[in-house]
Each structure stands twice: as structure tokens, then as C-alpha cells.
Structure 1
């Protein structure tokens, strides 16, 4: 008496829960086996939809067959579309089971697969459900795109929202109370240009913004949060953004600012430094003379309640200096930086060469922007013509027009910014010379972040402080050229980077490769 495995399947939960397809399939298969005197070893039931055989019950079936292949003769189901709707995958599984000595067949569409002619009918039975699937997929995608163009949200709700149907039964979104307020604050914080996306995420993670680093970036780029829906390009349709039916968590201006920051087109605001930053501007630029670790800094309160600031090493090292003394010596050093005439001439030549090269790049970019603006103007006219000729609806027209207008605005803003940079050579020269003639005054009058930039420009590597001078392993070539003729070298020692004998000595002459500060 031959043995068989019977397999029943439906594609959706609705069919499984409300229909009678599964019981009907099982009863038909049991009646067939009883009539053909076939013993049923096991029944596998599937209510899972998948494009191939990556289904839970079928995986279990496959494992069972491989473990008991010597006792199984048939795998039976009602129709071939219950077996698979993917022709290529179906052929693969049929061959795999045939090699195990198991015949695969449909009792309502039986085929003798040992006969070559039967393969023609097998191809028909397998390709028809696959074609139906493809047609359903296209109709579904077209229907979803029509709904999205009307402002419906048809996918899984993004973080901060919940899926919802309005009074007209249309799919949309509603706020996920509590989380949406945190998301609004996160967008506003990032739009200020002070904190990075990761810093904003960490700031609000403990307050309920439980998302990963990549999810945070995806959220900041998602137009859903400003009440829009992105419809990706498909076939010959361009990608468009339409107004959604759902409420916005943030306004469009904030969202646009966030996008400019992410794309690097937005200049971040200057960070407000605390008192300790202002009192310790060299923190991060100093090394300990004993252990050569970076010096940090802190404040201590005296008996009279006054705060005193110090640069100091890590706890195990006892190096400690009064911040006022360290800062004063550094400011005295900067006051001795005076530009010489021969250096001035060289500086002029370098500046002229640099200015000329940058000017060409800006002119080239201006020409490219003008061409892009002309193309966008033509596109705008084309959009209007399509609308007037009733080739596109109002929603599509507004979306395409808004997207094109945004590109026009961005390009016009970039063009204006580049044109504002096209000052003449003398203006740049005056700025550079005035900087070098009064670098100490500029340093003293600048906030902590500018002081750090000035120090980093002059000394690319960290300084070591002594009672009457500074030591560094490397000096900016331009500054070295200036200092080489001045008493400032008395307060500055160039340390040989080689650590062979531990002795410090002046470095060999630096190459004449000055750069513009």
C-alpha cells in the first residue's frame, strides 16, 4: 500500500479564518486517497502567503520528507496553484523530490510526469497562477499609488504615528501620543545646527526616543513628519511628494532646514561656550611634559568662593599649572608674530594663485547653475502645459510644481552665495595681512571656539608648556617662516619628533610651503 503526504494551502489569513478552503481541500484529498487505496502518513496545512517555498509548513514538510523518504511515495495537493505560483521554483522542488523517489501531483489536475508530453500541461498549470499573481501585483501597486496621490498612507506607520482610517474610510496616520512630542523636539534641536543627529538621539533616548542611529537618520529625512508623502518613481512616472491626509509633527520650514543641514548646505550656528571653555582656551592643545598625555582643565573654588582655573594632567600625574599664567605666556607669544616684507611678497603671490584657481572653480559652478536653472524653468513650463491640457490632476501638478520650485530656490540661493564670495584680491590681501599684524588682538577678543581654531592653524600638533616658553613637535610652515626672524623663537622650542635618546633639539629647517591662514 503506497504512502502519501497531503498538503493544503491558502494565501491569506482571511481565507484561513473565514473561508472553507482548507477543510474542503483536506476532505477532497482524504476521499481521493481512500478511493485509490493510498495511506496518508501526514497532513501539512499552510495559511501563509509567499512568492516561493519559503513557507513555515512547507519547510517542515520538506524536512519530514528528507527524514522519511524511503517510506513516502507521493506528495499530493488539490491543484497546482496550491503547490506554487512561481514556475521556476516549482520546477526546482519537483526535481528535488523526484530525486528522492517521491512523485508530486495535483489530484484535480493529475499529470503523468514520466511522459514528456505532460511537461507541456505542467508548464500551463504553473504559469497561469504566476501570470495571475503578476497581474494582481500590478493592479495592487497601481491602486496603492492612486491612493498615495490622494494623500493616503498605505504602509506601516512610521515611528511616532499609528495607522488610522478617517471618517471616509481612507488609510492615513494619527499621532502616537507621547512619542510625537519627543520627535518634534528632536527635529527642532537638530534644526539649530548645534548637535549632530547622534547627539540628538542620545539626548532623547532616555526620554522615549528608542530608535537606532540609522533609524534616526531615516526619520530626519522622512517627509511624512511634515505632512507629506513620498511616492517613488515607477515605470515612466517621476518621484513626487504630495500632501498627506495625516497631521504633521513638524512644520515644513523646520523640515527643509533639517534637510539642508543633512546635505551640508546649511551653516551651523556657533556653539555657546561655557565659562570653563573661555577660561581654558588651550585645553586640548597642550601635552604634559612628563607623560606626554593631553592636559585637561578644571576649576576649583577657593575659601573666598572665587573660582580658580587650572590646566592639569590625569589623576596619576601631578602636573598642574595656573591657567592665567599659561594663557598669558601664549598671548605674549602671539603678540610677537609680525610679518616680514619678503614673507609678505611670497604671501601675495600665493594668495593671488589661490584666488585665481578658486575664482575659476566658482565661475564654472555659476555657469552650471545657470544651465540647471534654464532646464528647471523649462520643466516648470512643461508641468503647467500638462496641467492645462488635463494630462495631470491638481494634486500631481501641485506636487511637481512644488518640488521643481524648491530646486529653483536652492540653486538661486547657491548662485547668490557664490557671487557674494567673488571679492577682489585686495580685499582678501587686506584681511590676511590685518590678521597677521594683529593676531594677538584677534585671539584675545574672540570666543573660545575661534581661539581654538587660531591655535590649531598655527600649531598643527600639541604644545608642551614650560615656565618661560612652549615646545612643539611641529609648526605650521608659514608661521615658522615668520618666527624664524623674530624673538618669538625664544619662547618656542621645536622638538625633534624622533624619540631615540629622549633629548629635545631644534628641528631642521622647514620647507617653504606656507599656506593662507
Structure 2
């Protein structure tokens, strides 16, 4: 009788998908058990997880890794598809089949990855993971851009400062019930008395901060008195924009209040030099960072910081001109033959199909959420017109739901922009790797460092020599002939 191979099942959904039929964990489990029965695979354990694709260190995922490490006779993983298995790029590295020796079955995609898989199979798979990561990163970036766009137009995102109230997402007015508290706080603190005395004085004068907390805390008061938004501007991520809301205090009063703060904030040392290789390397001897400094006003030298105590390499200063050629070689080794370009195009097509399913599902969820919020607003408005609820309750709920609707619309617009970026991503990867070295040499030190971080990891300096590993999936792009001579650990599958 043929011996059955042993495997574990890993199933995952995001919280948004749990409600969607066909994307549930039970649906995945049924699919994977059916595959196991048809292929004489024994399921020894199931791991179920509900979390987003961006979270790191999922409890069940790490539990699965520990189980496989402990049970050496179990080397197979069954999962529905790529985006169910990998929550982030780190997971992809942790489950690298060449390193772990595991065999991964992505049942819905009809893909089996193992140490014996060819390089082009691993390349296509790695490319799909990379593009999925970039799509999620772009989606997050575009969402932040949407919020930034709203802030740059002077509109508050989320909660407004104490003393203001929102009538709708684009209209913020002064709350005449709470504003006197804010103005009086500025007036008192501008006289030079302490924060502690200000909060006590406010309470003695009958100013109520909140129903549940009649006296404001010292920390809350300090933040209030340093909030520039009370000047009628809007500060978002350390940038100040002209606000669409009215000022609550004058510039003169605000400035007087700032002078009352006791400060002892000596500026920290700042290194304004953007060295090409700073932050890339660690010392091979002690593990400390490799830092850079300028000698004689023009020569850049690197050395170990020696932060952990004595290190023989702390006294070794290496000229940047001796290090740059070594990193040049690392970039040169990343090259694309025509066969690799064909493999990438295949991966792009497969990834495009997966992206389409993911984005359509996300768009459907967001549109459904927008519809639910609009329905709630319509319903509560009718209830207000029918005198079933009072104006205070109505305004509070409408404000919250308008804010929720505004956020959903930002995410929908971000999804659209992320999709447009995705279509350019494959071309960018191909063209970058085709001309990686030429582009690298034309870039600024900051951009060069970004590319090196993108390609390399575990960069160590020992003596005057640099060693490094290529990040996945770029190890599959390496020019195998030249690489094999220099790096014995390089993939040998052609």
C-alpha cells in the first residue's frame, strides 16, 4: 500500500471576508480536505486564522511554523492560494522552500512548490508575492494621500479639537458651549501660572470640561494649549495648512501661552549628510552598525561604531571608494535573460488575475458599506422629521456616519489609484532589472541606498570586504554563471 504523506492545513480570512460566502474558513477547509482525499494526503493538524494581510506575527501562523519544526516527518502545507498563505513579505521569506525543505500546495492555483521546483517556477511565484505586497503598499499609500488631500484643503480628518463641532465632513464651526473653556484656559496660562493652577482655576470658575470628567487633566490641558489648530489652521503630519474652520484664539494670545511653557529641548545632533551606504551594513565581528564620517572635508570613511564594547574593526576605516565597487557588483549580478522575461510575463498574467479578484472583492465590500451608511443616514433623518428622535441625537449620529462615509469614499478612490499603479508595476520591475546597474549609477545616494535595500539584506563588513544576501525573489534573477563562482549558496536550478 502506498504510504500517505503527512500535511498540515492553513486557512486564513480577513475580518471583512468572514461575512462573505465562499471566502469563509469552513469553505477553505472543505476544499483542502477534498484535495487531500483525492491525493492520498493525511491531514495531521489544521491551523485557522482570521486577520488582515498586513499583520505580522499571526498567532496561528507562527504556531504552524513551530509545529512543523518540531514534527520533522510533516513537511507539507496545504493552503487555498497565495494570498491566504502569506500575510506579508516576511512570511514568504520564512516559508522559502529551499531553506525549509517544505512542500507547499496552493490548491486553488494548482501550484506545488518544493525544493525540487525549477527556478522559473519559484521566480513566477515570488513575483506574484512581490506584486501583491506592492499592491497593498500602494493601496495604503493612496489612502494616506486621500487623507492628505483633504487635510491640505483645510478640512479636519476624524475628530475635531475640543471647542469645535462638525456639522458635516466639510463644515466645522465653533461650539459656543465649549469654546469659552478653551479661550479662558489660554488667557490664564498666558499670565504665566502653571498648568496645575490653570486647571484648578478653571474648575473654581465653574468651567466644566466634560460631564464625566469635570476637571481637565494636566496632560490634556498641555496638548490643548499647544494645538495650533485653534488659530484657524490645520496641522496634519507636521505640516500646517490654511484651515476651513474659524480661529478660536488670536495669534497674540497663542504666542503668549507658548512662552509660558518651560522648555529644555536642546537640539539633538543631526547628521545632514546622505551617505550612499549609511544604514546598510553591520559589523561582521560584533554586530554593531557601520557608520560614516567625512575626513579632511571631502573623503568619506566607514567604520564600526563599537557600541557593544571593544571591537577590532572600530579602528579600521574604509574609504567609500573601496566599498562602492563591491555593491556595484551586487547590482550588476541582477540581470534578466529573455527566458526570465518570459517567466515574469507569465507571473504577471497570473498575478493580474489574482489582483482582479482581490480588488473586485474589496470594491464590492466598500460599495456595500457606503450603501449601508447612506441607508442609516436616510433612516435617521426620517426619524428626526417624524419627531422620533431629538436634534442632539440626530446630529451626533449623522456626524459620525458622515465621517464613516467620507473614509469609505477615500478608500474607494485609493483603490482606483492603486489599481492604476499595479498595471505599471510589472513594466517597472522588468525595465528596472533590465537596466538596474545603469539606473543605479545615475541615482542620488538616497535612491541608490533604497535600491540596495530593495535587493540586498544581511550586509556585513569584515575587514574591507562586504558580504550580503539577495532578498527573495531577486535571488532568482541572479546571473547564475557569474553568481555561482562568487556565492556558493546561489540557486543552482536553471
Normalised by the length of structure 2, the TM-score is: 0.44
Normalised by the length of structure 1, the TM-score is: 0.43
Q: Which has the higher contact order (CA 8 A, sep 6+)?
A: 2
